[in-house]
Structure 1
Amino acid sequence: MLAAFLVWDRKVVKDNVAWRFISIICVVVWGMIVAVVYGFIDIDIQSLMKQLNMDIVIPLVVYLLIINTVTFILFVVDKIKAIRRSYRIREYVLLMACFLGGEIGGLLAMIVANHKIRTWYFLFGLPFLFLVHGAVFLYCHAAGIV
């Protein structure tokens, strides 16, 4: 599905950007489910309760702080540009920053700057993306990666 986007649908416009991100999230979730069903990953409660590998968690936390700060700044700058009616930051860039882990910064900017609160894929997509990222983290933890 993702290869089809790259080959046949190269033009990113406002109408299809949300569906691209939904498709990417669905492919990730589908891959996680397939890995569990076919036994590539064994998930049980005991594996979720084991100690976190701090050598991986500390850089992950630093990365998340940086990407959330950048995402927050991008949303606020876009709001300022919207007020001044100047060149805007593309929604694709905002969604990509959230997809890379900055959904908390995006949600905070939506609340603080009152920006993108009427756009359905920001309003519902960012909390859903937060849940997907949490599930991916638990999945990686159960697999022994984190």
Structure 2
Amino acid sequence: MVKIIVAYLIIINTIGFFTMLIDKRKAEKKKWRIPEKNIFFIAAIGGSLGAMIGMYVFRHKTKHWYFKFLFTVFLIAHMLILYYFLFKK
């Protein structure tokens, strides 16, 4: 079970990271963008760390307080859930 959770988190956080990269590149080229609700959905289902890292690496959406706030809330929730699954007795 733990291996499945870890594999899932690696995959979804990679998706979150590259979602921020793709949206940044599209913004620079003035093309169609990834909707914010989709970015938040990826973060909510486990990709918060990857999305947050991508946000700062690519300097994308860093001026929007709600991205910083929600990514942090999601990350804390995910850490608590992961702690529960790894250390429950």
Question: Does the pair score TM above 0.5?
Answer: yes
Shift of 1:128: 1.8
Q: Distance in 1 between matches of 2:17 and 2:82?
A: 22
State the AA in 2 paired with 1:129. F
Aligned residues: 88
Percentage identity across paired residues of the two chains: 33
Per the alignment, residue 14 of structure 1 pairs with none
Q: Distance in 2 between matches of 1:72 and 1:139?
A: 25
* 1:105 to 2:55 alignment: no
Shift of 1:74: 0.9
State the AA in 1 paired with 2:31. S
Per the alignment, residue 30 of structure 2 pairs with 85
- The residue correspondences of 1:18-33 to structure 2 (distance < 5 A) are none
The gaps in structure 2 that reach 5 residues or longer are none
Q: Distance in 2 between matches of 1:109 and 1:137?
A: 21
Q: Distance in 1 between matches of 2:55 and 2:2?
A: 27
* 1:122 to 2:67 alignment: yes
Q: CA RMSD in A?
A: 1.3
Max radius of gyration: which structure? 1
Per the alignment, residue 14 of structure 2 pairs with 69
Structure in which a larger fraction of residues adopt helix: 2
Shift of 1:133: 1.3
Q: Distance in 2 between matches of 1:124 and 1:61?
A: 24
Q: Distance in 1 between matches of 2:6 and 2:84?
A: 17
Q: Distance in 1 between matches of 2:80 and 2:57?
A: 27
- The residue correspondences of 1:45-64 to structure 2 (distance < 5 A) are 56-64=1-9
Shift of 1:135: 1.7
